[in-house]
Amino acid sequence: MKSRLHISLALVCCLLLTGCGVESIVRKAEASYALGEYHAAAALYKKAYTKTDPKEKPKRAENSFMAAECYRRIGMDAKALASYRNAIRYLYPDTVMYKHTAGLQLQKGEYKAAAENYRIYLTAHPTDTTAINGLQACTTAPQWKKSPTRYIVKKEALFNSRRSEYSPVYGSEDYSQLFFTSTRDKAQGEDKSLITGLKAPDIFVATKDEHGKWQKPEPIEGEVSSEYEDGACAFSPDYKTMYFTRCAVDAEAPRPAQIYKSSRSDASWGAPALCELAIDTLTSCAHPAVSPDGTWLYFVSDMVGGMGGLDIWRIAITGGEFGELENLGAPINTQGDEMFPTFRPNGELYFSSDGHGGMGGLDIYCATLNDEGRWEITNLMAPVNSAGDDFGMTFEGERMRGYFSSNRGDARGWDHIYSFYLPETVHTLTGWLYEKDGYELTEGTVYLIGNDGTNEKLGVKTDGSFTKRITPGASYVLLGSCKGYLNHMQELVADSTVEDREYTLQFPLASITRPVLIDNIFYEFDLATLTDSSVVALDVLVRLLTDNPNVVIELGAHCDYKGRDEYNERLSQRRAESVVSHLIAKGIHPDRLVAKGYGEGTPKTVTKKMAERHPFMHEGDTLTEAYITALPEEQQEVCNAENRRTEFRVLRTTYGLYE
């Protein structure tokens, strides 16, 4: 009995000592967390979790949740997800764990499980837009993976190490220098960061040799690198000033990230100076970017007045001094985190966000200003974006190629540098100018006007053709013209897709000096009534008259030799008048139209084109009754069909000019 009592007392003492030890560990963890030392705090919370009795579910739940929060903040996604699952298992009361769990599952491509956890969270927080967008991403992300864009993405071995590399940016006018941040072994210092568990990052630079080949990255020269975390840099338009992020460490109090600037002297960078951007000393400012005109410094901050999480802000640069400060607002900023702004020289803003949905983690977006001065954003989709964090995009000038960073596929959550390239899209227009029912017009001209700013006069080749590269999605008006012929107008809207396309347009020009056949005009048998199939051909004539508003034409109807002459003349006149009536109904002024019935009195003269279509005919022959009746019966019907025709000829080209 005494022995059992001793054992019981020993157990109680052990439990009390264990409890005191756990509380001490938790206090240390809380202190590290308050300082932003998430790697150290995570290890302590995990230790407290393992030392806590499984029966003490609330404490286990809290320690697991806090460990997960730490892991998530430093990108250790696998450990964060495992810890959130433990918090859920032990019924931690804060439903935000479902949201964060869903986000991590989305990054792993576990779309069904992520959607379920988003729905649980949204039951308690139905207006949380980041969760709503995340739930939508569970549907869109797998669709985007199945139908990727034409971007070509490649991991760049030369720039990457066994640690993290991120935020590449070009640093010279000829794009021969690439700066980026890295925690590789060559970074200064030996100590591991209590925030990330890695060496404090430094800025490195890779340079192209005289043959345009990238050389191995080296630490930048000068006074920028320090014992602290230095990185995520940007440059002024003249590349003489560098802005970069520095995260100092203080054992007594949290130290926010701050932005510094340094000036270049030859290849070396001078002593950095702090940029006073925030209104208090506890606000973080990071990830600088300079607008292409050099008048604004964009950056990321958690300062008061934002929309939630980290927002993108900007501050005016005037004469090297900072002025007006403003939040970019919606639709760029959200309740989530918007980070890593960069620019293309054309003014397009690229940034990363986890608040717009996307594919999981941080996705890269392009923001452009519309005509009303409002931002419009577009997700770059797969393969640029992935289930991981994708950010820090830099472009080689106006070219659609460059580099960005991503932690896709890295189980440790470390970032690496990837190249991207969008193959050039070529949309080509080819057209032909030729005489209607004739041959190419080598002296013709095409006038091309487009809403992309195009305004050109194009000559044609010896075969009457022209070729012009056009802009996808643009609208064009083309006018074919040649001396002695009526103008012919065409309209074209180029496909807005990114696939290569070829377009072909025909410009059949009607002669001003000779009768022009109107193809495919048919009448009811022995009547003047137009058939329905004639409408399309007459609509083309309506367009021709609209494009040439000063033209007056005669509509001439012709019959074959069958039937009495008087009857054929009356029938052909009624048919010509029927065509005129149709054109008037379509809006052509009656004064521009003359109806003339020729009966059988003006048989067709064989043209070179006709002779090519019908080898038994000869150019210059006239299809008279005597000519036709001397032919075999089958050929006779061909000739009669050629004589049964409706033509127009230009009477004058001065209608309305002198009114």
**Beta-carbon neighbour count of residue 486 at 10 Å?**
21
User: Is the distance from CB of 508 to CB of 436 less than 8 angstroms?
Assistant: yes
> What is the number of residues in the chain?
659
Q: What pLDDT score does 250 carry?
A: 67
> What kind and span of H or E run contains 195?
none
pLDDT at 325 over 70: yes
Q: What pLDDT score does 22 carry?
A: 86
Q: What pLDDT score does 15 carry?
A: 39
Return d(Cα 300, Cα 637) in angstroms, integer.
83
State mean pLDDT over 243-272.
85
Residue type, 422: L
Per-residue pLDDT band for 1 (boundaries 50, 70, 90) equals: very low
Per-residue pLDDT band for 6 (boundaries 50, 70, 90) equals: very low
Q: What pLDDT score does 519 carry?
A: 83
Cα 86 to its chain centre, rounded Å, is 40
Helix or strand or coil: residue 103? helix
Per-residue pLDDT band for 529 (boundaries 50, 70, 90) equals: confident
Per-residue pLDDT band for 528 (boundaries 50, 70, 90) equals: confident
Which of 277, 437, 279, 56 is CA-nearest to residue 287?
A: 277
pLDDT at 21 over 90: no
Among 69-78, 361-370, 555-564, 619-628, the minimum mean pLDDT is found in 69-78
User: Is the distance from CB of 180 to CB of 209 less than 8 angstroms?
Assistant: no
Q: What pLDDT score does 387 carry?
A: 87
Q: What pLDDT score does 2 carry?
A: 40
Q: What pLDDT score does 196 carry?
A: 67
pLDDT, tens only, 194-213: 666 667 889 999 999 999 99
Q: What pLDDT score does 523 carry?
A: 82
Q: What pLDDT score does 82 carry?
A: 93
CA distances from 120 to 82, 108, 117, 130 (A): 18, 19, 5, 14
Q: What pLDDT score does 190 carry?
A: 64
Q: What pLDDT score does 191 carry?
A: 64
User: Is the distance from CB of 142 to CB of 135 less than 8 angstroms?
Assistant: no
| DSSP secondary structure, 354-384, as one string | SSS-TTSS-EEEEEEE-TTS-EEEEE--TTT
Residue with tokens 């802009």: 471
**Beta-carbon neighbour count of residue 88 at 10 Å?**
19
Residue ranges in 90-187 assigned as alpha helix (H): 96-107, 111-124, 129-146
In order of start, what are the domains of the chain with their CATH numbers?
A: 19-143 (1.25.40.10), 152-421 (2.120.10.30), 427-509 (2.60.40.1120), 516-652 (3.30.1330.60)
Q: What pLDDT score does 396 carry?
A: 95
User: Is the distance from CB of 488 to CB of 516 less than 8 angstroms?
Assistant: no
pLDDT, tens only, 456-510: 999 999 999 999 999 988 999 999 999 999 999 999 999 887 778 899 999 999 9
In percent, how much of the chain has pLDDT > 90?
Answer: 66
- Taking each helix axis from N to C end, the angle separating 565-585 and 535-547, rounded to the nearest 10 degrees, works out to 60
Stronger pLDDT, 191 or 477, i.e. the higher one = 477
Q: What pLDDT score does 195 carry?
A: 64
In percent, how much of the chain has pLDDT > 70?
Answer: 94
Cα 390 to its chain centre, rounded Å, is 16
The encoded tokens of residue 548 equal: 């040439």
CA distances from 185 to 162, 182, 577, 579, 649 (A): 9, 9, 92, 86, 85
pLDDT at 333 over 70: yes
State mean pLDDT over 250-257.
71
Q: What pLDDT score does 251 carry?
A: 61
Stronger pLDDT, 221 or 360, i.e. the higher one = 221
Per-residue pLDDT band for 622 (boundaries 50, 70, 90) equals: very high
State mean pLDDT over 627-639.
95
Cis peptide before 331 (omega within 30 of 0): yes
Stronger pLDDT, 321 or 622, i.e. the higher one = 622
Select, from the ranges 16-25, 39-48, 195-204, 492-501, the one with the highest average predicted confidence (pLDDT): 39-48
Q: Which residues on neighbouring strands pair with residue 447, listed in sequence order?
A: 457, 479
Q: Indicate the pTM of the whole model.
A: 0.67
If 0-12 CB within 10 Å is exposed, 13-18 middle and 19+ buried, where does residue 410 land?
middle
- Looking at every residue in the chain, the average pLDDT score rounds to 89
pLDDT at 20 over 60: no
Q: Which residues on neighbouring strands pair with residue 241, listed in sequence order?
A: 263
pLDDT at 435 over 90: yes
Q: Which residues on neighbouring strands pair with residue 406, listed in sequence order?
A: 390, 416
In terms of C-beta distances under 8 Å and separation of at least 24 residues, what long-range contacts does 585-590 make, across chains too? 586/538, 586/539, 586/542, 587/542, 587/546, 588/542, 588/545, 588/546
> What kind and span of H or E run contains 420?
strand 416-421
pLDDT at 14 over 50: no
Q: What pLDDT score does 4 carry?
A: 40
Return d(Cα 495, Cα 518) in angstroms, integer.
32
β-strand 501-509 against 427-435: which pairing, if any? parallel
pLDDT, tens only, 389-426: 999 999 999 899 999 999 998 878 889 999 999 988 88
Per-residue pLDDT band for 185 (boundaries 50, 70, 90) equals: confident
Per-residue pLDDT band for 73 (boundaries 50, 70, 90) equals: confident
pLDDT, tens only, 533-564: 888 889 989 999 999 999 999 999 999 999 89
Which of 306, 158, 277 is CA-nearest to residue 218?
A: 158
pLDDT at 320 over 80: no
